[in-house]
Amino acid sequence: MAQQRRVQLSTQRPTSTVCVLGTELSLDLCGSAPKDAVAFHVQGTPGVKLYVVHETQSIKLPSSVGRWPLAAGTEVLLAMDALSKDVGDEKVRISYFGEAGGVPVGRAMLYLTCVEVSLDADISRSGAVSRTLLDKTTWTWGPEGHGAILLVNCDRDDPEAEMPDNRDAAICSYADLKDMSQMVLRTRGPRTIFTGHRLVLHVDFGDADKVGVFYGGSSTTLEEYKHVLGGSKLAYALKPSRHQEESIFYVEGLAFPDVGFSGLVAFHVTLLESPEKGSLETPIFTDTVVFRVAPWIMTPNTLAPLEVFVCSVDDNEDFVTAVGALAEKAKCPLTVCPPPQNRQDRWIQDEVEFGYVQAPHKTFPVVFDSPRDRGLKDFPVRSILGPDFGYVARQAAEAASNLDSFGNLEVSPPVTVQGKEFPLGRILIGSSFPRFGGRRMAKAVKDFLVAQQVQAPVELFSDWLHVGHVDEFLSFVPAPDRKGFRLLLASPSACYQLLKEKQEEGFGEAAMFQGLEGVPKPTIMEILANEELRKFNYYAQSCISWNRDILKRTLGLAEPDIIDIPQLFRGDATTGAEAFFPDMVNMLVLGKHLGIPKPFGPQVGGRCCLEERVRELLEPLGLTCTFIDDYFSYHLLSGEVHCGTNVRRKPFAFKWWHMVP
């Protein structure tokens, strides 16, 4: 429905007004009618399309009816199709007739100037601003959806700067400009009309702290770009210049969707008219364009690795070498975070999560910095944040718990659950539910993840673990068949079965932890005979089974989508569960190359029976297993390979705006 504006007429003097291309004017017939008038006749110049709305019918003029009764419900609407060449070059005349008919009892003249005022953005998501017939005031999801997209300008294009680009109100480089979305104001028509009108670009009060708008006028030099809207600047008045029909604004997002911010931001341009010089101006047209701030998106193990991160600390040289070798196999660059930057904090999985933001015109990675602040605290801002590498963080309101570390934040590959598609997968976080009290992820982090909308989080039960991270009992690996992946779950039950099998085969005396100095070396028989350990693992298995049920339901998995990886846990009710031997599901997945914690299982026929079993389970999927010794350097400190590494991955080929959350 076209925007419609009511125009007052007068029989005393001619009225002049503007008709904005694409809108309608509704003429206030009765308001200007002379007292005795009972009918009217209306005619316009060829550039004016006229309609009489009479008894709910809309009749295009000229029609066979010459005179229309002046009834309360009768309306005259007009629209114009072509821009005026001169001010007031089209007109409409209304003649009023009394009961007697014959000579008009009064006449109202309306002089019209047709102009174009349009605020445009990349509504069709093509990567460039174009005119469109799509509704600019709404934003819709899905492959047929429309609506412009903004990026949070959270990278740091200026290497000298301390903070991300969205913390300032300046343009530091053309690269900075390229992270922003264009918004174009088109003003066409006789230029003199604009000198008598005002055009104001504005943003709603509630949205103003979420965006920044820059404008360089007709200049292209960086210095000319000014911060014109956002923060305390709610409105910016422009004078369309004589020579320029398009004004290009650059819009940056300042904040990600979150509690109380859907991500939608509306900009308006309003045309103000003053009928005479010095008189009060009134709004006569507003055009609105809505942007959505792009969500932060996580990348599952099934996406190709682009960069592997590991920390170099005092005692982990071999581990770094092993991870480096695996990265090389996977043809993926390795970034080593050196001791001055990690301050002996090796848990880089826990400090950050790598994701990305995407708009049709631009995509860049964004690191999410966890509320966990240990030695690696400053690493993300100092060393990861940079040109086209963004940064976002959330703080915990109370002291951060173990469950706030991002080993407790994973994402599944794309899934379909009872017909509902999750083309970007679902986020998995650990919590104390269905227990009560206990530890939980900070509300600020959970709320942030939910607010991104595109990877609807699932809460798992991880508080039964001493550390409490979901990556202690699950992982995903790519697979050539079925859903394109398998869910790996740590399985005490599968481990007991394996050990019993080996005992029955006569290897009961085979001992674990061979070659590890100072580590007790229990045999298969001893492990099987340890009733306390068995009871505890029954408990651990129950907790994992509870999560298996949730995962099957929320990811739409069947049993054949799940692989049980033999694993034992130890602990008690107070301390919670820890891996009894290096926790194999806590692996590094680089394409088909898996870096798995070396379990140091019982040697059967010169081979570790745990490694053998894992190979049997995973190699048929085309995966290669590299077992990495992390025993002293990570395992004994309550973490493993996954906890000690991190991976930046390729964004999804699937565009997030094509989904329907």
Using CB under 8 A as the binding rule, the residues of this chain from 394 to 433 that contact a second copy are 418, 433
Q: Which is nearer to a second copy, 104 or 375 (CB)?
A: 104
Amino acid identity at 457? P
CB of 203 to a second copy, least distance (A): 9
Among 67, 324, 362, 539, interactor with a second copy by CB under 8 A: 539
Query: Measured in whole angstroms, how far is the alpha carbon of residue 441 from the centre of its chain?
Result: 20
- For residue 268, give every residue at least 6 positions away whose Cβ sits within 8 Å of its Cβ, in sequence order, or none: 119, 201, 202, 203, 204, 286, 287, 288
* Closest among 129, 89, 88, 103 to 39, alpha carbons compared: 103
Strands (DSSP E) contained in 23-67 are: 24-28, 39-44, 48-54, 57-60
> What's the alpha-carbon Rg for the chain, to the nearest Å?
34
Q: Which is nearer to a second copy, 160 or 504 (CB)?
A: 504
- By CB under 8 A, what part of segment 284-323 binds a second copy? 284, 286
Distance separating alpha carbons of residues 267 and 246, to the nearest angstrom = 16
CB of 584 to a second copy, least distance (A): 17
576: tokens are 């919670």
How many residues touch a second copy under the rule CB under 8 A: the total is: 79
Q: Which is nearer to a second copy, 156 or 440 (CB)?
A: 440
Distance separating alpha carbons of residues 378 and 369, to the nearest angstrom = 10
Catalytic residue flag (residue 361): no
Q: Is 548 in the site for a second copy (CB under 8 A)?
A: yes
Q: Which is nearer to a second copy, 85 or 553 (CB)?
A: 553
DSSP 407: G
Interacting span for a second copy (CB under 8 A) from 302-310, 361-369, 556-564, 596-604: 556-564
Among 298, 348, 543, 596, interactor with a second copy by CB under 8 A: 543
Among 107, 268, 615, 655, interactor with a second copy by CB under 8 A: 268
Q: Is 517 in the site for a second copy (CB under 8 A)?
A: no
Among 58, 138, 545, 575, interactor with a second copy by CB under 8 A: 545
* Closest among 597, 526, 531 to 566, alpha carbons compared: 597
CB of 306 to a second copy, least distance (A): 34
Catalytic residue flag (residue 350): yes
Question: Considering 469, 593, 635, 642, which one is annotated as catalytic?
Answer: 469
Distance separating alpha carbons of residues 568 and 537, to the nearest angstrom = 7
Among 100, 103, 399, 573, interactor with a second copy by CB under 8 A: 573
CB of 286 to a second copy, least distance (A): 5
Q: What are the distances in angstroms from CA 485 to CA 415, 419, 425, 624?
A: 10, 18, 12, 15
Neighbours of 418 (CB within 10 A): 6
- For residue 59, give every residue at least 6 positions away whose Cβ sits within 8 Å of its Cβ, in sequence order, or none: 51, 52, 53, 65
Q: Which is nearer to a second copy, 125 or 446 (CB)?
A: 446
245: tokens are 């029909």
CB of 242 to a second copy, least distance (A): 25
CB of 431 to a second copy, least distance (A): 9
Q: Is 655 in the site for a second copy (CB under 8 A)?
A: no
Query: Measured in whole angstroms, how far is the alpha carbon of residue 593 from the centre of its chain?
Result: 29
Max CA distance (Å), the chain: 121
Interacting span for a second copy (CB under 8 A) from 274-282, 353-361, 388-396, 627-635: 274-282
DSSP 557: -
Strands laid side by side in the 297-298 sheet: 297-298, 352-359, 362-369, 390-393
Strands laid side by side in the 562-566 sheet: 474-478, 485-491, 562-566
- By CB under 8 A, what part of segment 69-88 binds a second copy? 72-73, 75
Query: Measured in whole angstroms, how far is the alpha carbon of residue 514 from the centre of its chain?
Result: 48
Q: Which is nearer to a second copy, 64 or 418 (CB)?
A: 418
Q: Which is nearer to a second copy, 226 or 268 (CB)?
A: 268
DSSP 523: B
Q: Is 609 in the site for a second copy (CB under 8 A)?
A: no
- By CB under 8 A, what part of segment 180-239 binds a second copy? 200, 202, 204-206, 234-235
CB of 261 to a second copy, least distance (A): 9
Q: What are residue 193's phi and psi, to 5 degrees?
A: -60, -35
CB of 548 to a second copy, least distance (A): 6
Query: Measured in whole angstroms, how far is the alpha carbon of residue 38 from the centre of its chain?
Result: 60
Catalytic residue flag (residue 471): yes
Strands laid side by side in the 4-8 sheet: 4-8, 24-28, 75-80, 48-54, 57-60
Question: Considering 155, 471, 629, 630, which one is annotated as catalytic?
Answer: 471
3-state SS of the chain: helix, strand, coil percent to 5?
Answer: 20, 35, 45
- ∠ Cα 474 478 481 (to 5°): 120
CB of 307 to a second copy, least distance (A): 35
- By CB under 8 A, what part of segment 477-516 binds a second copy? 491, 493-494, 496-497, 500-501, 504-505
Q: Is 325 in the site for a second copy (CB under 8 A)?
A: no
41: tokens are 């006749």
Q: Which is nearer to a second copy, 196 or 360 (CB)?
A: 196
CB of 539 to a second copy, least distance (A): 4
Interacting span for a second copy (CB under 8 A) from 87-95, 135-143, 275-283, 644-652: 275-283
H or E stretch including 32? helix 29-32
Q: Which is nearer to a second copy, 205 or 606 (CB)?
A: 205
Among 162, 538, 607, 636, interactor with a second copy by CB under 8 A: 538
Q: Is 270 in the site for a second copy (CB under 8 A)?
A: yes
Q: Is 636 in the site for a second copy (CB under 8 A)?
A: no
Interacting span for a second copy (CB under 8 A) from 80-88, 335-343, 541-549, 599-607: 541-549
* CA contacts within 13 A on the Cβ side of 487: 29
Distance separating alpha carbons of residues 289 and 542, to the nearest angstrom = 53
CB of 477 to a second copy, least distance (A): 16
- By CB under 8 A, what part of segment 103-132 binds a second copy? none
Question: Considering 179, 258, 350, 583, which one is annotated as catalytic?
Answer: 350
- By CB under 8 A, what part of segment 430-469 binds a second copy? 433-437, 440, 443, 446-447, 461, 464
Q: Which is nearer to a second copy, 323 or 498 (CB)?
A: 498
Residue 342, phi-psi category: left (phi > 0), alpha (psi -120 to 50), beta (remainder): alpha
Interacting span for a second copy (CB under 8 A) from 85-93, 181-189, 364-372, 547-555: 547-555
Query: Measured in whole angstroms, how far is the alpha carbon of residue 250 from the centre of its chain?
Result: 19
- For residue 584, give every residue at least 6 positions away whose Cβ sits within 8 Å of its Cβ, in sequence order, or none: 490, 565, 566, 567, 596, 597, 599, 610, 614
- For residue 144, give every residue at least 6 positions away whose Cβ sits within 8 Å of its Cβ, in sequence order, or none: none
Interacting span for a second copy (CB under 8 A) from 144-152, 181-189, 368-376, 551-559: 551-559
- By CB under 8 A, what part of segment 11-50 binds a second copy? 26, 28, 30-33, 35
Residue 456's SS3 state is coil
What are the residue numbers of the active site? 350, 469, 471, 643
